[in-house]
Structure 1
Amino acid sequence: MLKVENVSKVFRSGAFGGKKAKVIHDVDFEVKPGEVVSLIGESGSGKTTVGRMILRLTSVSGGRITFEDEDISTLRGAGLKSYYRRVQGVFQDPFSSFNPIFKVGRVFRTIRREFLGDLDAAAWEARLTGALNAVGLEVAALDKFPHQMSGGQLQRLLIARALVLDIRLLIADEIISMLDASTRIDVLNLLGDLKRQGLSIIFVTHDLALGNYISDRIIILQKGAIVEMGTTDRVFGDPQHPYTRSLLDAVPHLHERWSDAELKDLGLVADTARFGGHLIEHRKDHLVRVYS
């Protein structure tokens, strides 16, 4: 569905752009329908830049990106609008995506005007209600200002904004890093529901535990280059690159399951997660550990 083929990115700075810095080095991967692929790396690894290139927010310096066999760099006008009906992004800070002086419903009215103007009122209301219900919100939420909603609620609204367009690929860039742990679990489970409905997701994160929890495949980035890629079980269970091993060594007990006695002593409960075979442990309202 999505193919990133030998993509590179060079940023220019200085007088007349004379200084060059290559930040993405020949990145190559694909995303299949209904698959969750995590881009994992430290700050500055290039994972966000890759996501922005897929969204056409940053230009590609070399290589190409195709979606459903179409080179996205060639898209203009109606073709680009069609692309954004199928591919959307949600970012780390939900508050920055809403104008604080307008009610949040304005975002959805803009989407209808720009992308879905051919829908009659009844069809639009049905689509809007369905998208909001899918993320656990009511239509009444649209009548609130951003400051009247929590970060988790705003993040859900941004996911609903994408769903109302019937997207096929979601770029989720550090979307839970600013949320409290209980809300994180809700958003992750929402992504799991969407995956089972056939949505493909690129999950951009620095958190290995979250990548382990949500992903079908893992891509490890270091200094703008892919150093390891494979299924989640293979990358986390049998890492081949020293950088991957160093990242995993920094996360104790990633695959270790606590005994029932330990859970009882610590006042923990274990819930079956909505992603294949993984469990989460939490103490009331905060996440303690994710393991497989």
Structure 2
Amino acid sequence: MSEDRKVLIKADQLTKVFGYGAGKTTAVNHVDFAFHEGEIISIVGESGSGKTTLAKMIMGLLKESSGSIEYKGAPRKLGSQRQRREYWKDIQAIFQDPFSSFNIFHKIDKLLLDCIKLQGLKLSKEEQFRKMKEACSFVNLKFEELSNKYPFELSGGQMQRLMIARIFMMHPKVLIADEPTSMVDACSRSTILDMLLKLRDENNMTIIFITHDVGLAYYVSDTIYIMEKGHIVESGSAERVILTPRHRYTQQLISDVPKIHEAWELA
């Protein structure tokens, strides 16, 4: 799939070091990748592998210690607030805990209106209402039932769907989904994945899943990157990496799910 699509975001020797001297930790170590338009990628690894740090670097929330990231064929520029806002129009994220992503003191109406403001759209109140209602409808929520409520008044599943509604409104080029289904039940998990894949199909959006779930990676991804201790130890098509793993760490991850097909179906 990726061969006939343009490279959208690319990293060269990307490295992130925390701390100094004897106490320093290299969380991401000389990582290379090339993500394509409309591609679904999974970055797979256990806790502490560096995958979430890598996601935050791609988002521009953490500055790289060395190496570089290119976006649309040019070095990305995040030096000013204006440049970061422009970048974040195209690069959005859904995190494991949806409640941590919202200001609990702001009502749902404002959280959705902020999406319109970030895009720089000048809309009438009627147009704003229509846009928010349409986004909520996409994720099977009723805006009228959410209006005037605070995030803590919603369930985890509702909040996660609200995050996807924001993505629907923003139409980003890249979505980083960091364990987006780990805090919801199996039914909500399937629904959320279906919504994300529908967004990809409709908007040619690149989706980057950050996950420890080998089953999810296999069933949704075009390409898989395996991370261990800050390194990308293996990458390739989902089918190749999972069915014929070459690196002993990949083999270990898969051996923990010996019947991957059954494990996914029963989840």
* TM-score, structure 2 as length reference: 0.89
Ranges in structure 2 where 5+ consecutive residues have no aligned partner:
1-7
- Of residues 162, 177, 180 in structure 1, which corresponds to 2:182? 177
SS at match of 1:175: coil
* Whole-angstrom CA distance in 2 between matches of 1:121 and 1:5: 45
When structure 1 is superposed on structure 2, of 92-101 and 71-80 the one drifting more is 71-80
| Aligned residue number for residue 155 of structure 1 | 160
- Of residues 44, 50, 60 in structure 1, which corresponds to 2:48? 44
Contact 1:41 1:206 (C-alpha < 8 Å) held by counterparts: yes
| Aligned residue number for residue 260 of structure 2 | 254
| Aligned residue number for residue 261 of structure 1 | none
Higher relative contact order (CA 8 A, sep 6+): 2
Counterparts of residues 138-217 of structure 1 (less than 5 Å): 138-140=142-144, 141-197=146-202, 198-217=204-223
| Aligned residue number for residue 22 of structure 1 | 26
The number of equivalent residue pairs is: 258
SS at match of 1:164: helix
Shift of 1:55: 0.8
Shift of 1:161: 1.5
Shift of 1:114: 4.1
* Percent identity of equivalent pairs: 38
Q: CA RMSD in A?
A: 2.0
SS at match of 2:133: helix
When structure 1 is superposed on structure 2, of 194-203 and 46-55 the one drifting more is 194-203
* Whole-angstrom CA distance in 2 between matches of 1:122 and 1:75: 36
Contact 2:40 2:206 (C-alpha < 8 Å) held by counterparts: yes
Shift of 1:221: 0.2
Deviations 1:230-275 (A, max 9, x none): 0010001110101101110110211469xxxxxxxxxxxxxxxxxx
- The 1:133–1:67 alpha-carbon spacing in structure 2 relative to 1, beyond 3 Å, is farther
Deviations 1:84-141 (A, max 9, x none): 1111111111112233343222212233334334334344334333322222222222
Shift of 1:73: 4.2
Give the counterpart letter for 1:42 in structure 2: E
Contact 2:60 2:78 (C-alpha < 8 Å) held by counterparts: no
* Whole-angstrom CA distance in 1 between matches of 2:80 and 2:127: 28
| Aligned residue number for residue 5 of structure 1 | 12
* Whole-angstrom CA distance in 2 between matches of 1:54 and 1:114: 19
The higher radius of gyration belongs to: 1
| Aligned residue number for residue 69 of structure 1 | 73
Shift of 1:67: 1.4
Asked if 1:107 is matched to 2:114, the reply is: no
SS at match of 2:70: strand
When structure 1 is superposed on structure 2, of 173-182 and 142-151 the one drifting more is 142-151
- Of residues 210, 220, 224 in structure 1, which corresponds to 2:226? 220
Query: Which structure carries more helix by proportion?
Result: 2
When structure 1 is superposed on structure 2, of 66-75 and 131-140 the one drifting more is 66-75
- The 1:184–1:29 alpha-carbon spacing in structure 2 relative to 1, beyond 3 Å, is same
* TM-score, structure 1 as length reference: 0.82
